[in-house]
Structure 1
Amino acid sequence: MRAFATCDLLAPAGATAGLYPQPSPPCQQRFRRLAVPPVRAPGNQVPSPPMHRKRTHALHAALGFAAGGALLWLALRNADPGRLWALLTGVDLRFFAPVFLLVMALLALFFWLKAVRWSWLLRPLAPLRTADVFPPLMIGFMCNNILPAHLGEFVRMYVLAAQRGLRNTAVLSTIVLERLLDFLAVVGVFAVTLQFVPLSPELAGLRTVGYAVGAACAALFACFVIFVWRTAWALRAADRTLAAALRLGVGILIFLPAERRRRLRVRLHAKLFGLLEAGVPGLFSLRNLRMFGAMVAITLLLWSLNGLMLYLAVISFAPAQPVPLLAALFLFSVCALGITLPSAPGYIGTTQFCFVIALQPFGVDREIALAGSFYALFLGIVPVTLAGLYYAARLGLKLRTIKEEAA
């Protein structure tokens, strides 16, 4: 641990200090810990990102809006607008109001537990409390609602790294590990629940897909465990495997000159292997068997809470219609996998489409599924965005500055 703590990944860096052009007085003491002073453009402005990065993010945004619009159209195509409006405006407040308060409490618990898990992953880097990482977490999720391409994950990395004097790659490694745990949990639940979903005869073949996905998830989890406890060996094996795969993959590009293929192979190898190495710092928190078990347990609890909130969102508009809990588990796994694709800010369109296709096998009407999806969208956007704006204001951050730094 001592030898690794002195390596470049954990060295303090203040490259992101420009994210804080004029910190508010309560935060100035914390930002003085940054090792490198903020980089200023003329006029005390944050430097503009390179043009190619702007074009890339513009392309991501365009793809996200196009995908979200197409999925929203597919979800609404055969719906009855009158019935959907009646469901949204004719809720029984005697049932809706207490369920809303319960969902808000579950939402607060969900994000607090995410902060707990992130603080555990950050322990090898800094002894941070849950309350220390909660503001950057909420700012990041706020940005996921208003920025395309999941840029909120990079925003929370920038905020925490600059605030605590940590290196970007070290903080990013903990977010990558967090997302990997989430992915394994979601894919595992999807593979299991798919075996019990009442599919039509035409779609029964999807169960085989579920078996294959489950096997792949188990293999990936085994690789993850090996990477945690046999990191050095796993890195060497990954280095050799990656080199062989790139030699084969780039080698088929015979229309490129040999020297250009070699440079491309070297560049891709350095980038991909660098991403793998970036995940090493957060592994120290998982090498304790008790901590590893707690991390898996809290991940499963998080997604169970997510499924329960989606379930409550659906039954809020049809308390008399029986909706099995299995539908909630299948619904959250489909939604979680769906939002990994290019989507509009706030996952508009993607959420509606996932609700419709996930609840259809359980006999839930399209209009009820859509009403629940819009309600879930409201819960995921409004409270989260307001909380993120509140913490951004407390830290003296401006929304325009955050957007420029994320770009």
Structure 2
Amino acid sequence: MIKLTVGVIITVACLAAAVWGIDVEQIKASFRDANFWTLPILLLILFVFYWLKALRWGMLLEPIKPLSAKQVTPAMMIGFMGNNILPAHLGEFLRVYVLSKQFQIPKTTVLSTVVLERLFDIIAILCFLGVGVYFAPNLPDDYRTGSIVLAMMTLLAVIFLSAYLIWTDTVIGLFRKIFSYLRFLPEKLTHLVLEMMRSGAHGMASMKSKRLTFGIIWTSFAQWTLNGLSILVALWSFDVQVTPLAAFVVLGVTAFGVTVPSTPGFFGVIQLCFWISLQAFGVSKADAFAASVYYQLSQYIPVTLIGLYFSNREGLKLSEAEKEAEKELDELEGI
């Protein structure tokens, strides 16, 4: 209940900030003049985006149990549907539960591949955000400085991933010592982070294959390129004439913005992230808001419907899905 309350407060605050100062007539005009014939393009990009995600997850799982993109897709889409309708990103734990049940793979092992997946996502997103901020024209010098900071963060992320791969036990031991000094952090949180790091080590087996490593890297960058393209198409639909570099900035800010606690579906948060990103490019607040709603709904509705279809096919009810996701989280915290 506390998590849900905090999420609602953050969502309402973000939504209020995103629409503050916008005339309702401006929003109506933006939607009235928009080109919605781009929707098939957005849906096609979305299809390829999730196909690449499934392909990459199959690569991460290959050393554990060879599975095709088609085989992992139901669990993956049920998980992303869960993120859209369940609080606290429980969809991640839901897809762990579904895949583990389907193919008799230990849950901690499946979770390890999800952890590694997120590490590659972070690296790819940081790269796109840094490139967008550094090379986009007419941005203040402070933005350029920020891009250098992002480049350093990316480098540190790569170094961390490499060290984590080579000296797993040492890295986990180092984090355990750091957490022991940070006594103000909740014990459950530190335990959860350490356990996820320990679980993530099991998913590192795929990184010992050059073929799989190359495949995981290119699919990571390809899928986020497509996500940036989706943002660009959504903006062009509302006659917001920006370059792909601006879309990369929106991509990076939004990807990290949705990690904050909010209501399922990240409504309000995405709208604010679009405005924060696009104001530096001279985009009106009304157009940024309208384009963000179009982009979000073009993602939210298909993913949720497909996830619900697979959930129904697997005989998993929504109430049961939430209980199973919470159970997975509780079990992990209790390890």
- The question of a shared fold, defined as TM-score above 0.5 by the shorter chain, is answered with yes
Cα distance change on mapping 1:394 and 1:75 into 2, 3 Å: same
Q: Which residue pairs with 1:306 in the alignment? A: 227
Asked if residue 61 in structure 1 is aligned to residue 9 in structure 2, the reply is: no
Deviation at 1:398, TM superposition (A): 1.0
Cα deviation for residue 205 of structure 1 reads 2.8
Moved more, 267-276 or 176-185: 267-276
TM-score, structure 1 length as denominator? 0.75
Q: 1:385 corresponds to which residue?
A: 304
The answer to whether the Cα contact below 8 Å between 1:197 and 1:361 also exists between their aligned partners in 2 is no
Amino acid at match of 1:338: G
Displacement of 1:210 in angstroms is 2.8
Match of 1:87 in 2: 30
Cα distance in 1, alignment partners of residues 41 and 201 from structure 2 = 38
Q: Is the counterpart of residue 101 in structure 1 residue 35 in structure 2?
A: no
**Contact kept in structure 2, 1:242 and 1:269, CA below 8 Å:** no
Distance 1:123 1:374, change over 3 A: same
Q: Does 1:78 align with 2:49?
A: no
1:126 to 45, 50, 65: 65
Q: Determine which structure has the larger helix proportion and give its number.
A: 2
- Deviation string 1:133-153 (CA, Å, 9 cap, x unpaired) is 001111111111111111110
- What CA distance in whole angstroms lies between the structure 1 residues aligned with 2:291 and 2:247? 12
- Give the residue type in structure 1 aligned to 2:210: L
Q: Please say if residues 198 and 361 of structure 1, whose CA atoms lie closer than 8 Å, have aligned partners that are also in contact.
A: no
* Alignment CA distance shift 1:120-1:77 (3 Å): same
- What is the Cα-based RMSD across aligned positions, in Å? 2.1
Q: Distance in 1 between matches of 2:301 and 2:192?
A: 37
User: In structure 1, what is the Cα distance between the partners aligned to 2:194 and 2:300?
Assistant: 35
Q: 1:77 to 1:164 in 2, by over 3 A?
A: same
Distance 2:293 2:189 in 1: 41
Structure 1's 170 and 135: CA in aligned 2 closer, same or farther, altered over 3 A?
A: same
**Is 1:371 equivalent to 2:304 in the alignment?**
no
Q: Of the two, which has the highest radius of gyration?
A: 1
Correspondent of 1:348 among 249, 267, 289: 267
| Equivalent residues in 2 for 1:242-261, closer than 5 Å | 242-250=175-183
Unaligned runs of 5+ in 1: 1-57, 254-263
1:166 aligns with 2:88: no
Residue matched to 2:313:
394
Deviations 1:194-244 (A, max 9, x none): 22345665xx3343333223212202212212333x2xxx13322442343
User: TM-score under structure 2 normalisation?
Assistant: 0.91
Percent of aligned pairs with the same amino acid: 35
Of 32, 38, 54, 1:115 maps to 54
Distance 1:199 1:249, change over 3 A: farther
* Matched AA of 1:242: F
- The answer to whether structure 1 residue 227 and structure 2 residue 227 are counterparts is no
The amino acid that maps onto 1:84 is I
